[in-house]
Amino acid sequence: MKFCTSCGNSVVLQIPAGDDRERFVCISCELIHYTNPRIIVGCVPVYEGKVLLCKRAIEPRKNYWTLPAGFMENGETTPEGAARETWEEARGRVSNLELYRIFDVPSISQVYMFYRCDLDGGQFGVGPESLESGLYSQDEIPWDEIAFPVVYQTLKQYFIDAQTGHFPVQVATVERRPRRP
């Protein structure tokens, strides 16, 4: 960040009084600009034992498969955002949303929240951010073409939990992967 979003003057990185970490502070109006993690909300939409996946039409990970998910918008709840993303990416309407997985990804300042839910009527399509979408059983999922580690882990755990019919909420931290030499 270089400029204050309030007055347009320059900002400096410093520790404000009473704080314990560096923040961007405006040199003119002294507004403190807090930069906080982004929340990604999504669904594990299920119809007749199959999960709805979307093939990404955008970067990052274009041409890879994912659960419908995206950044939460201001003014919506996490379940509302997850349902909206499912409609936007896969033209699916969902109901009976239950919190299923939370992933903290501190290395990229993101939090992922996935809701297990019903895909109403088994109806879906393709939204502007997807190349295609479809319902997949565990054996049909293109496991080597899953876009993100959190999606891979969520899908793996979902099929384990589906065998018992018990779907506990799980929270995990995704650590930064070591860089390859």
Task: Sketch the domain layout of the chain as residue ranges.
Answer: 1-35, 38-173
For residue 116, what are the β-bridge partners? 44, 98
Rounded to two decimals, the pTM is: 0.88
Looking at CATH, the fold of the domain delimited by 38-173 is given as Nucleoside Triphosphate Pyrophosphohydrolase (3.90.79)
Selected residue with higher pLDDT from 85 and 18? 85
Which pLDDT value is given to residue 178?
57
What is the rounded average pLDDT of the residues 24-39?
93
pLDDT band with cut points at 50, 70 and 90 for residue 45 = very high
Q: What is the dihedral of CA 60, 110, 44, 70, to 10 degrees?
A: -50
Cα(87)–Cα(155) distance, integer angstroms: 19
CA 9 to chain centre: 33
In DSSP notation, 26-72 reads: ETTT--EE----EEEEEEEEEETTEEEEEEESSSSSTT-EE-SEEEP
Q: Is the pLDDT of residue 97 over 90?
A: yes
Helix (H, G, I), strand (E, B) or coil at 8: coil
Q: Which fold has domain 1-35?
A: Ubiquitin Ligase Nedd4; Chain: W; (2.20.70)
pLDDT in tens, 104-157: 999 999 999 999 999 999 999 999 999 999 999 999 999 999 999 999 999 999
Inform me whether the pLDDT recorded for 53 exceeds 80: yes
What tokens were used for 26? 């405006």
Give the 3-state secondary structure of residue 14. Answer: strand
Mean pLDDT along residues 97-108: 96
Please report which confidence band the pLDDT of residue 98 belongs to, taking 50, 70 and 90 as the band edges: very high
> What integer pLDDT is reported at residue 177 of this predicted model?
64
Q: Quick one: tokens of 119? A: 């895909």
Which is more confident, 176 or 24? Answer: 24
State the average pLDDT for the chain.
Answer: 95
